[in-house]
Amino acid sequence: MGGSELLLTLLGGVALLLWGVRMVRTGLTRAFGAPLRNVLSRASKSRLTAFGAGVGVAGILQSSTATALLLASFAGRGLVTLPVALAIMLGADVGTTLVAQIFAFDIKWLWTVAAIGGVALFSAAEDDRLKNLGRISIGVGLMLLALIELGTVSGAMRESPTVAVLLSALGSEPVIAVLVAAILTWLAHSSLAVVLFILSLAAGGAIGPELALALVLGANLGGAIAPLTALTGSPVAARRVPFGNLIARGAVGIAFIPFLGWAEPALAYISSDPGRMVLNFHTSFNLIVALVFLPLLTWLARFVTWMLPPPADAPDRAVPQHLEPTVLDTPSEALGCAMRETLRVGDIVLDMLRKSLTAIEGNDLKIVKELEKADDDVDALHEAIKLYLIRASKNELDDEESRRYYEILTFTTNLEHIGDIIDKNLMDLANKKIKKHYSFSPEGLEELKRFHGRVVDNMRLALNVFATRDVTLARRLLKEKTTIRIKEFEAAERHFARLKEGRPESIETSAIHLDIIRDLKRINSHLTAVAYPILEAAGELRESRLREKQREGSSAKTPASETAAMPAQPQAPAGIGSAQS
């Protein structure tokens, strides 16, 4: 086997292994995610009970990283105490090693049975759980096939002089070997896949036992880093669980490095097979970590809390509160999290909308600055929701989930646009009014308050439509679009009437007055957009549009007749046309 072919086969085998692990984890999470989360949330009777729950859940999920993310979610919401969460995490580290032990048996020939059975079950089943069981079986088949390929590559690597030189250099530097394996595991987000890869190299004779043990040590450290980096930006309470696990594994791992040479003879007493030696060290290391730190969990929890103290200030509003990374493999739950975060953004934007007229009316620069900061928060949350939805959509979505995905994405984008209108348009008008010391006429101010109040009410209605997907509410919201358009024309007519009277306040604030009305109408248009997909899905969109035209007093269907049914656009008095700019 040539060098290029060797490298491509190696990379292909690793990719197949990673994808198989992912399929198994995704299938298990979707099929049994809710029961497993219940087990973790209730495992608080004792440290040993919590440890056992961690072993079982990680053994099923085949991932201590997935377990860590689940625990971080519970800890962040106060559902489990930190010592209990750390005990579960220590058990999860051991549970993952037991899964690896199973793959050391000579069961690779089962890959065809697992793959064929999985494809048949996935294709024939209508029940989601059965489909996910099929996905699990396919994943197991891919993992076994990958191990066969990697075993073939390992034998070829043993004969390659170039690879022999590289591995020899790595074997003489155990610290570098540990770091390399840690980085690879962090990139792969799967210590199981990396350990099985090391198993294949050791079993094929490509690497010696001492280098294999150093790589396994690095894989364990990398497996502790992955969930911590995945939770960057999460609340402090959520990050304490993976941080505590990293401290425990890191402390024992660093202490192990000088004794790697002595570990090989000790492991040989149990089994001299290189592959089995790798897995026995993997299990022994995590058992030692558990034995050392289970009695010290209270101390470890205090130390972690000291290292990651609660924030002194109020929580940053720009940090997402509901985008749980633990449920990304379950699209229905992930979409629920995205919806809750979008409603939170809606509350922020609603507060901005309420305060916008206060800033304009009261010449309050403090509120102007506050709304500028709020718009930055909305922009950050919009980006976070968008990226979260993209990650969730990497899984298969059914028709209803796809529809909800686009509804959430569209609504959160419209909320971001509304925030921009408030910040970039309405607050610019507020600054202009403040700098020029303008004042609205009493009638003009009252008119703005009524129009603004109606848009605020429509925003509350839009948030309820988004949350409930109620067709009646959606129809009511859509009718408000026509009402606002009529109110805009009526407000403009009254404003031009005041201009004809020569009211000084109306003349100097004419452009600001009309721009505020225009921007509030734009905001209302973004809000009413949430009704369209709901009415379309209910088959009522055409009916609602016809009713809207009938309410305007026209039975014709042409654009011209529809325009004729609307109140006439008021004309500005001569010499004041520029005031509409």
Write out the residue limits of the CATH 1.20.58.220 domain(s) in the chain.
Answer: 319-437
**Number of other residues whose CB lies within 10 A of the CB of residue 438:** 16
Are residues 324 and 76 in contact, defined by beta-carbon separation less than 8 angstroms? no
pLDDT at 6: 73
Q: 303 vs 192, 230, 240, 300, 414, CA distance in Å?
A: 29, 22, 10, 5, 44
For 288-310, give one letter per residue: b (16+ CB within 10 A) or e.
Answer: ebbeebbeebeebbeebeeeeee
pLDDT for res 420: 92
- The topology (CATH level 3) of 319-437 is Methane Monooxygenase Hydroxylase; Chain G, domain 1 (1.20.58)
Q: What is the pLDDT of residues 66-118, one digit of tens each?
A: 777 777 777 766 667 888 889 989 998 998 888 888 877 777 778 888 899 99
CA dist., res. 458 & res. 340, Å (int): 19
Number of separate helices (H) and strands (E) present in the chain: 25, 0
Q: Answer yes or no: are the C-beta atoms of 220 and 248 closer than 8 Å.
A: no
Both tokens of residue 129? 């759980």
To which H or E segment does residue 187 belong?
helix 174-188
Cα four-point dihedral sign 488, 491, 497, 501: negative
CA 199/CA 171 separation, integer angstroms: 16
Kind and range of the H or E element at 379? helix 365-392
The low-confidence residues of the chain, meaning pLDDT below 70, are 1-3, 33-34, 36-38, 40-45, 62-63, 76-79, 155, 158-160, 164, 233, 311-316, 499, 501-509, 541-581
From CA 246, how far away is CA 229, in angstroms rounded?
11
3-state secondary structure of 452: helix
Model confidence, pTM: 0.57
Residue pair 93/59 in contact (Cβ under 8 Å)? The answer is: no
* pLDDT value for 449: 87
54 near 87, Cβ under 8 Å? yes
d(CA 142, CA 196): 13
- Whole-angstrom Cα distance, residue 355 to residue 462? 18
* Residue among 139, 195, 188 at smallest CA distance from 20: 139
Q: Residues 70, 326: contact at Cβ < 8 Å?
A: yes
Query: Quick one: 493 exposed, middle or buried, by C-beta within 10 A (0-12, 13-18, 19+)?
Result: middle
Selection from 114, 112, 115, 134 nearest residue 124 by Cα: 134
Provide the b/e sequence for 180-211 (b: ≥16 CB within 10 Å).
bbbebbbebbbbbbbbbbbbbbbbbebbbbbb
| Cα–Cα distance for residue pair 124/269, rounded to 1 Å | 49
Q: What is the CATH number of domain 439-581?
A: 1.20.58
Angle at the Cα of 531 from the Cα atoms of 528 and 536, rounded to 5 degrees: 140
Query: Contact, 125 vs 134, CB < 8 A?
Result: yes
